[in-house]
A and B are shown apart, each in its own frame.
Chain A
Amino acid sequence: MNNNNEKKYIRSHEPVFWGLFGAGGTLTAFMTPVMILITGILVPIGLFGEGKFNYQQIHQFATSWYGAAIILILVALPLWHTFHRIFHGLHDLGVKQGRDWQQVICYGSAFAVTIFVLTLLLQMIAA
């Protein structure tokens, strides 16, 4: 057939986003239900961590290096997961217009919030 001109293969950059998607998805699946259970149900009805979830304690955690790192990961990765899913969901729904812009808006939002949270945490640590 027309094998005369060798087909050009273009490498996709999807592994980067798929990696963040996978990591975020794993976190969401394992951590979110636990966090909702603790902070949304057990703490408010007083079954867990009595007196340990006050402002001072949480602030102390957030301004420690390891605490800040954990919070950043817990916020950023699920966000990358979500926006990746939305980006591909739009394709699945047949929204064909402006795929470039969809990509910029989706991953741009995830990137922006990641940087925002990072800056916020660094400011808190520095303060």
Chain B
Amino acid sequence: MANKTIKIEILRYRPEQEDKPSPQLFEVPYSPDLTILEALQYIKDHLDSTISFRWSCRMAICGSCGLMVDGVPKLGCKTFLRDYFPNKIKLEALANFPIERDLVVVMDDFINKLEEIKPYIIPEDNTKCLSDGPHQQTPEKLAKYKQYSMCINCGLCYAACPQYALDTKFTGPAALALLARYNRDSRDAGSKQRMKIVNQEEGVWGCTFVGYCSVVCPKGVDPAAAIQLLKVESSKDYLIGMFKPD
């Protein structure tokens, strides 16, 4: 009976005992149905309880367990050991974010950007009364934004984005995709406020359409498409602004 194992190298960082991150090798029992997240849990339970990583739902809904697997941004819960076996797997904290501890990153910048784009429906003034019933939407109106509403804020697209890597002032893929989600919603009237963010250099114009954000997105949101569509909107806004400055 051959007990197969797989080697997992984790980039560790414990700020109280080391100045910079260093790799540590673990060997865990291999099974084709194990995910990276389950392997991490095995390590924490049986090999080294000091290892830190974020997780919650185990089913690609919460967006907590983002990490770099062999240099590619992935969700730990959605990535299986079988796709790497028998090779060694290298795990690192999500790229482009400061490391807080081991595989845990500081996401403050990303969260601030999400807040900045006003990720909620801004109704028109003189909006209708509650007693008038719900806002009706046709399937076509829903289809305009639905895809961009699937984001789980895991941050994989920020780890993938070479422009965010060069300059963290860039608003970035997920925040801009979510911005598009609200601007494209027929119930929303906040486009004018949000276009100010879009029109900046750090808005959509920081993007050079590399498209890697859409490749790594675990939910098929396609932030790159959202940003290119926003570039068209921003260009229209620019033309209108030439004749009608506000």
Judged by a CB distance under 8 angstroms, whether B63 is at the interface is no
Question: Do residues A15 and B238 form an inter-chain contact, with CB atoms below 8 A?
Answer: yes
What's the least CB distance linking B213 to chain A, in Å?
A: 15
Question: Do residues A92 and B205 form an inter-chain contact, with CB atoms below 8 A?
Answer: no
Residues from chain B with Cβ under 8 Å of A18 in the complex? 205, 231, 235
Question: Do residues A19 and B235 form an inter-chain contact, with CB atoms below 8 A?
Answer: yes
Interface band, chain B: 10 to 19
Complex Cα gap A66–B197 (Å): 41
Question: Do residues A14 and B197 form an inter-chain contact, with CB atoms below 8 A?
Answer: no
Partner of B241, one of A10, A11, A19: A11
Question: Do residues B166 and A12 form an inter-chain contact, with CB atoms below 8 A?
Answer: no
Residues from chain B with Cβ under 8 Å of A14 in the complex? 201, 205
Partner of A94, one of B166, B200, B239: B166
Judged by a CB distance under 8 angstroms, whether A59 is at the interface is no
Closest to B197 in A: A9
Complex Cα gap A24–B231 (Å): 17
* Count of interface residues, chain A, beta-carbon cutoff 8 Å: 14
B222-239 with Cβ < 8 A to chain A: 231, 234-235, 238-239
Complex Cα gap A13–B237 (Å): 11
- With A91-B166, A92-B166, A94-B166 given, is the CB distance from A12 to B235 under 8 Å? no
Question: Do residues B166 and A11 form an inter-chain contact, with CB atoms below 8 A?
Answer: no
Residues from chain A with Cβ under 8 Å of B196 in the complex? 9, 11
Judged by a CB distance under 8 angstroms, whether B162 is at the interface is yes
Question: Do residues A12 and B231 form an inter-chain contact, with CB atoms below 8 A?
Answer: no
Complex Cα gap A23–B162 (Å): 25
Give 1 or 0 for each of B137-167: 1 = CB within 8 Å of chain A CB: 0000000000000000000000000100010
Judged by a CB distance under 8 angstroms, whether B208 is at the interface is yes
Question: Do residues B208 and A9 form an inter-chain contact, with CB atoms below 8 A?
Answer: no
Residues from chain A with Cβ under 8 Å of B238 in the complex? 11, 13, 15-16
Q: Which residues of B contact A (CB under 8 A)?
A: 162, 166, 196-197, 199-201, 203, 205, 208, 231, 234-235, 238-239, 241
Q: Which residues of A contact B (CB under 8 A)?
A: 9-16, 18-19, 88, 91-92, 94
16 contacts between A and B (CB under 8 A): A9-B196, A9-B200, A11-B196, A11-B199, A11-B238, A12-B199, A12-B200, A12-B203, A12-B234, A14-B201, A15-B235, A15-B239, A18-B231, A19-B235, A88-B208, A92-B162
